[in-house]
Amino acid sequence: MVYGQSIADYKWKNRVLLLVDNNIKSQDLQSQLNLFLSKTANLEERETLIFQVTPDEVRLYDGQKSDLNSSDIYKYISISKKFSGVVLIGKDGDVKFKKPFEIKPESIFSIIDSMPMRRSEIKHIRGK
């Protein structure tokens, strides 16, 4: 896995899925995380990393503390600290999707698969 100090460090390398809530142990956040973790192959195929984000900390999908700064993330994605939900950041670094919990993973995969860069990746994979 690629580790970065800033969300911008993932630009052009990974799509980033932020699960944002006020508490890392919130039932909404953990339920959403479990839905995505049941689809890890889909996430890996789409080069998508998951972070759990609260106003005080950022953790990786597995609960490990991340070097990312939550204040920087809140500024970067322009959300209030009261937002609870899912934010998808494309490889170009732009926010592609932002909605309150709970989101079906298939909805995120559909959004990713409709992106021009992802369609190009699929063509490249099939061409091999």
Encode pLDDT of 9-36 as tens digits: 999 999 999 999 999 999 999 999 999 9
* Total-model pTM: 0.89
What are the structural domains, with CATH classification, of the chain?
Answer: 7-127 (3.40.30.10)
- Cβ neighbours of residue 127 under 8 Å, at least 6 residues apart? none
Which two three-digit tokens encode residue 126?
């099939």
Encode pLDDT of 61-73 as tens digits: 999 999 898 888 8
